[in-house]
Structure 1
Amino acid sequence: MHKSLFTKYFAICAAVIIISLTLLGAIMMLVAAQYFKTEKYDMLKQNTENAVTLTLENYTITDNQVTLQSSVYRTYAILANAIDAQLFLVDASGKVIYSPPYLESGEVDSSQQTLIQVGPYTGYSIPQKVLDKVDGGEYFDVGDLGGIFDAQNYTYALPIRLEDGRLMGYLFLSTPANAMTEFLMQVLQMFCISSVFVIFLSFIVFYFVTLQMVKPLRRMAFAAKKFGSGDFSERLEVRGEDEIAQLALALNNMAQSLSVLDSSRRSFVGNVSHELRTPMTTISGFVDGILDGTIPKEKEREYLTTVSNEVKRLSRLVRAMLNMSKIESGEVKINPANFDVLDVILQTLFSFESAIEQKRVDIEGLDRDKVIVEADKDLIHQVVYNLIENAVKFVNQGGTISFHFRSEAGRTYIRIRNSGAGLSKDEVQHVFERFYKSDKSRSLDTNGVGLGLYIVRSIVALHGGEIVVRSVEGEYTEFEFYVPTGKMSKALKKSAN
């Protein structure tokens, strides 16, 4: 059977309360029993000492025989009945020579004023082993006093010694032990009544407290189900700064991230579909036109050239997507080495020599010494190639492409600027996004797929660097990035010479 968190938590709290009250009750009963026993001990001890003192103050010796005054016996009876105890006056041999009768509370025997009354235990003998213990100073025990009593009793005894040290006898006081059972039952009854009330009140409090604690978790579970179904619009209310609030905040942040990721995924799929569909439609249409004779023979070469260009465009798109996928999955590993980035830039510029000459573009900032960086040469070549390709595409006729280099704090900054129409502020914010192409680039660059700058930023980030774009509409656009500064190796020094 499925148990909710509320049920489990409530059951645990209830079990803790019941177990705690049970342990508390057991401890309280032990303490109460010990208290009762100590109280009986103190009471019996005090009254026994008083009775012994009374005895030693009221005796006479005649012909070497000890005789007690009759008032002592009456006092014995009053004392025994006052504390609900049985008193034994025992001679030195262990024989009970006097035991007052037991009177009910408030009962007075009229004959006790003139006649000594004796109880039922007069004439009994106390076991010698008990007397031996009393001779040691005092005696306290819970038992039947060697079979004299039918039930358990608390018994305290002291020896009675004369001034010359002779043993006159013993004085015993015993009180029933069943009183403790009645006392403990009363304590237990009061404790159980109180515990039932406490448990009932605690259950009510824990019910509502647990309900309040579980409510936000239920809302989180509901939100998580919506996230799992693809709906990231749900947001949780965050109250306070406890663990529940932190979890709610984390789920809200996760939902926001997932929403952005989902939007990015949808945009990515849409862009890829568009980028694939456009050339495929062109290729399919021209090939079908050639096959069914719609396109004249004399124009077949022209249309086949277009088909070839679209195939190359598809190839570039697939290659760019593979590179992007490798970078995002962490498959691309950099192999840093010291090299002259200026040499990489010059080689790249030579590959665009024809386009540069057609636009009559001036190249500036390359008449300088080597610029040594520590990076992956192949990946940096891809960065430089993409940036220079963009600069050549968007530089104005008769414009300028300039390079600037600076080193500081172990970093080498490389800036590539081209004059031209520039980018708007809105375009600058999106220029590094996947498949983003500005309106100007769509008209000037029909072969681009919008992944170049995204890959550039990813490669620079792999080197621990950063790339930024600056632009002024109608004047220029520049990209600046930095990578770790390298050291001039012997091979580089030799090639410089």
Structure 2
Amino acid sequence: MKKLSVKLGIIFFIIIIGLESFIFFYLHSSLVDSRVEEELSELQARGNSHRAVLEMNFDPTTVNHIALMESEADTDVVITDSFFKFIGSSKQSIHFSKYINQTITTSPRKGKIIEDNWREKPFIATVSPIEVDGLTVGYVFMFQDTASVQSLIMHLNEHFLLAGLISVGLTFIIIVILSKALTKPLIEMKEATSRMSNGDYSVSLPKTGKDELGDLAHSIHLLAHQLDYLTKERNEFLASISHELRTPLTYIKGYTDIVHKRNLPRDEQEKYLGIILEETTRLSILIKELFDLAKFDQNTFVIQKKRIDFSEFLLKMEQKLLPAFIEKNMNLQVTCPPHLFLMADPIRLEQIFLNLLDNAMKYSQHGTRTDLKVEKKGTNLHITVTDNGKGIPETDLPHIFSRFYRVDKSRTRALGGSGLGLAIVKELVHAHDGKITVNSKENIGTEFAIILKGATE
């Protein structure tokens, strides 16, 4: 009883057998009642036919002729006068007397049924009055043995029983096939989820059609791919974070030992202490970025929006970054319409542009130009950051917003950041209900496009 196919089969079997039993019972009762009614109608019609003959010739010869006719038939006739005295009969039987004695009321012209209890009584019976010149001169009683009716019903019962057994057998076979067909994809899905729980995400489920089972199979298939991706991403994340944490810690520990154990000149101590400070700062930034990403994952990151003058905001950004660009002999061009306002978090917005412009400066050659351009379209701000750097390979473009993903696999200290900058940028843009996309070509440059809502003039 633990298998779903067995449970479904039993439920379907009970329901269908219940419906079939009800239908069979209803049809059986209807057919039996209809057949008995036909027998009574035929018996009444036969009596009325004899009555019509007797009304034309109500004499002993006609009476005897009718009695003789019925003696060779399956039915019996009794003809009486108006006082219920026997004047003719197809068969002598004491059982007829009690029905005739019970007929104490005047029968209608069309006749009537005086006994229809075919289950318990030996006969079913009808009566038809004989009228001559408007006066009732006698009666025609018709009788039929109920054994023949019961025999007919018995044959009908046998047919119904045979049909019922065939129906039950076919129902059982169909339900077995149907329940297995319904539960087979569910069993395969259960096995697939069991494999997924053990870390095997290479599941493949057959297509079951465009129904709920098909949707479920598709969802499990997508879940397996997502879990596989998340597992790989988690492993890469742990490997990357261990590397990123180990590198500065190694520097800090190594140079601290040197400064502590060796009697170094003042200038060398300053040099090593500077490296320790640099690595400590790098480690602090990495931990802060990881903390921010953890907040994003837990939906606890808060954006403090306020109305800012966007052109003034970008002017301050340009003044802050321009010396670094000049030092690298690079040009920074900021284009923004005046008196443009936006509801945003200025600190987080600055973090977005610092990351993008720092990348543009880091991965571009001396003498190149970086453009930050802002356009207002409706209530949206369209912002592009374009550089003339070495670009991003097409195979790397789908992954550059992933955590710890770096196009430069060498992880050089000159170029390699923590690999979290663009992941944080993407989360910050989404936190502002915005959208960020990237377009790049190798040796030509890269363009980041950001759309932010809620711009006013």
Range of TM-score over shorter length:
0.7 to 0.9
User: CA–CA distance in 1 between the matches of 2:322 and 2:98?
Assistant: 136
Identity %: 24
User: CA–CA distance in 1 between the matches of 2:125 and 2:383?
Assistant: 105
Q: Residue 233 of structure 1: CA displacement?
A: 0.6
Structure 1's 482 and 23: CA in aligned 2 closer, same or farther, altered over 3 A?
closer
Aligned partner of 1:57 in structure 2 is 56
Letter in 2 for 1:89: I
Aligned partner of 1:31 in structure 2 is 30
Structure 1's 399 and 123: CA in aligned 2 closer, same or farther, altered over 3 A?
closer
Letter in 2 for 1:37: V
User: CA–CA distance in 2 between the matches of 1:457 and 1:7?
Assistant: 51
The answer on 1:126 being equivalent to 2:100 is: yes
Q: Residue 231 of structure 1: CA displacement?
A: 1.1
Aligned partner of 1:261 in structure 2 is 230
The answer on 1:400 being equivalent to 2:369 is: yes
User: Which one of the candidate residues 359, 363, 377 is aligned to 1:390?
Assistant: 359
Q: Residue 82 of structure 1: CA displacement?
A: 0.5
User: Which one of the candidate residues 89, 96, 101 is aligned to 2:86?
Assistant: 96
Q: Residue 413 of structure 1: CA displacement?
A: 2.1
Q: C-alpha deviations, 1:289-309, integer Å up to 9, x for none?
A: 455x25747544433332232
User: CA–CA distance in 2 between the matches of 1:386 and 1:125?
Assistant: 112
Q: Which moved more, 1:451-460 or 1:344-353?
A: 344-353
User: CA–CA distance in 1 between the matches of 2:111 and 2:204?
Assistant: 80
Aligned partner of 1:275 in structure 2 is 244
Give matches, 1:215-254, under 5 Å. Answer: 215-254=184-223
Aligned partner of 1:138 in structure 2 is 111
User: CA–CA distance in 2 between the matches of 1:160 and 1:273?
Assistant: 117
User: CA–CA distance in 2 between the matches of 1:441 and 1:340?
Assistant: 41
User: Which one of the candidate residues 129, 132, 138 is aligned to 1:159?
Assistant: 129
Q: Residue 7 of structure 1: CA displacement?
A: 0.6
Give matches, 1:345-356, under 5 Å. Answer: 345-352=314-321, 354-356=323-325
SS of aligned partner of 1:131: coil
User: Which one of the candidate residues 168, 173, 183 is aligned to 1:214?
Assistant: 183
Runs of 5+ consecutive residues of structure 1 not aligned to the other structure = 60-67, 102-117, 489-497
* TM-score normalised by length of structure 1: 0.81
User: CA–CA distance in 1 between the matches of 2:319 and 2:74?
Assistant: 122
CA contact (8 A) 2:63 2:88 kept: no
Letter in 1 for 2:81: D
CA contact (8 A) 1:349 1:388 kept: no
CA contact (8 A) 1:339 1:486 kept: no
User: CA–CA distance in 1 between the matches of 2:263 and 2:397?
Assistant: 43
Runs of 5+ consecutive residues of structure 2 not aligned to the other structure = none
Aligned partner of 2:281 in structure 1 is 312
User: Which one of the candidate residues 168, 172, 178 is aligned to 1:199?
Assistant: 168
Letter in 2 for 1:140: I
User: Which one of the candidate residues 55, 61, 84 is aligned to 1:70?
Assistant: 61
Q: C-alpha deviations, 1:468-489, integer Å up to 9, x for none?
A: 334454554443322135223x
Letter in 2 for 1:99: S
User: CA–CA distance in 2 between the matches of 1:190 and 1:436?
Assistant: 78
SS of aligned partner of 2:300: coil
User: CA–CA distance in 1 between the matches of 2:311 and 2:232?
Assistant: 40
Q: Residue 439 of structure 1: CA displacement?
A: 2.4
Letter in 2 for 1:45: Q
SS of aligned partner of 1:42: helix
User: CA–CA distance in 2 between the matches of 1:399 and 1:121?
Assistant: 126
Structure 1's 399 and 317: CA in aligned 2 closer, same or farther, altered over 3 A?
same
Q: Which moved more, 1:401-410 or 1:248-257?
A: 401-410
Aligned partner of 1:45 in structure 2 is 44
User: CA–CA distance in 1 between the matches of 2:36 and 2:376?
Assistant: 92
Aligned partner of 2:13 in structure 1 is 14
CA contact (8 A) 1:338 1:375 kept: yes
CA contact (8 A) 1:290 1:300 kept: yes
User: CA–CA distance in 2 between the matches of 1:407 and 1:36?
Assistant: 88
Q: Residue 451 of structure 1: CA displacement?
A: 1.0
User: CA–CA distance in 1 between the matches of 2:20 and 2:106?
Assistant: 41
User: What is the alpha-carbon root mean square deviation over aligned residues?
Assistant: 3.1
Aligned partner of 2:272 in structure 1 is 303
Q: Residue 157 of structure 1: CA displacement?
A: 0.4
Q: C-alpha deviations, 1:233-281, integer Å up to 9, x for none?
A: 1111215434333322222122122222222222222211221222223
Structure 1's 173 and 322: CA in aligned 2 closer, same or farther, altered over 3 A?
same
CA contact (8 A) 1:95 1:124 kept: no
Q: Residue 168 of structure 1: CA displacement?
A: 1.0
Aligned partner of 1:493 in structure 2 is none
SS of aligned partner of 1:75: helix
CA contact (8 A) 2:70 2:90 kept: no
User: CA–CA distance in 1 between the matches of 2:146 and 2:452?
Assistant: 94
User: CA–CA distance in 2 between the matches of 1:255 and 1:97?
Assistant: 97
Q: Which moved more, 1:424-433 or 1:2-11?
A: 424-433
Structure 1's 144 and 95: CA in aligned 2 closer, same or farther, altered over 3 A?
farther
CA contact (8 A) 1:153 1:177 kept: yes
Q: Residue 333 of structure 1: CA displacement?
A: 4.4
CA contact (8 A) 1:94 1:131 kept: no
SS of aligned partner of 1:450: coil
* TM-score normalised by length of structure 2: 0.87
Q: Residue 222 of structure 1: CA displacement?
A: 0.7
Structure 1's 133 and 223: CA in aligned 2 closer, same or farther, altered over 3 A?
farther
Q: Which moved more, 1:415-424 or 1:235-244?
A: 415-424
User: CA–CA distance in 2 between the matches of 1:168 and 1:268?
Assistant: 115
SS of aligned partner of 1:483: strand
